[in-house]
Amino acid sequence: MLHTKPPSLLSLKAASIKTSNSKTSKRPKRFNARLFPYVSTVFVIAFSAQAIADQSAWTLMWSDEFEYQGLPDKAKWGYEEGFVRNQELQYYTRARKKNVRVENGTLIIEAHKESLTNKDYLKSAPLDDWQKSRKTSNYTSAAITTQGRASWTYGRVEVKAKLPKGRGIWPAIWMLGLNMNEVGWPQCGEIDIMENVGFDPNVIHTTVHTSKFNHTLGTQLGEQSTVIDPHNTYHLYGIEWFPERIDFFVDNNKVFTFSNDGSGEQAWPFFAPQYLLLNVAIGGGWGGQQGVDPLIFPQKMTIDYVRVYQQTSQ
């Protein structure tokens, strides 16, 4: 399964993607639970997506091919735990194979409808302190992260995945600035390589968040792509990150570019390391806009591999 270069375009289904014309979306993001209307877009023909140009310029620096069994490699992955963000309904568990495991050469992140005790519960917590006032969860899932283990500045990041399906599901492949705990969000910068919400099942969202460009200002920048059967078929989601821009790809077809406008770190905080997160959320400000179907569970995101490349000349 291991390759030293990204796979050839000939092996990928370029015609499975349609991209939208809009570059601005106004949906809610993970660090704010407020609801914002999403701007609808008109799709263009599949072949308008631009293909990646020179794959020979990249050298593999870090990967997990998931050629083992059990929990994710603890040298590469850590966990988020509890009720974390966006008033989502799932309780993220730590090192629990029911929610995250490696089997048959793939990583599985699996969401379940079940009750679990909230370790952070406080009887005295006010109701608006949702992370502590919930005594138990109605759903469980997992979020794994390379924070404290691996982070990168520039390069190519790609994840080959099949997505969960159903109303209320919200899987994501994304990155956050390593300085998140010091400067906060969105100052740290966020790169959403792939997001999908169950009520809009075939649409893949790629977005960025910075102090200048985010939903609270109505300036969030991103793109939508229609993908054929992202739930039963593997697709490749990735970025190529340079000092002057970030290119976003689905199945090696360029679907969005975010450019450094030269105005400073309010617009471009992406000169510093970012770490990777993989998760399956349930409900929340965006994923739960049309409710959660309790009959769909369990649901899982299956990941074939995660790879990080750097330019050969670096």
Residues designated catalytic: 190, 195
- Calculate the CA dihedral of residues 197, 199, 204, 210 and round it to 10 degrees: -50
- Amino acid symbol at 155: G
Residue among 281, 304, 287 at smallest CA distance from 201: 287
Can you read off the two tokens belonging to residue 282?
């349930």
The rounded distance, in Å, linking the Cα atoms of 158 and 64 is 11
CB 18 within 8 A of CB 226: yes
Can you read off the two tokens belonging to residue 101?
């495991």
Q: Tell me 182's DSSP state.
A: H
CB 134 within 8 A of CB 62: no
The rounded distance, in Å, linking the Cα atoms of 82 and 99 is 13
Can you read off the two tokens belonging to residue 194?
């792939």
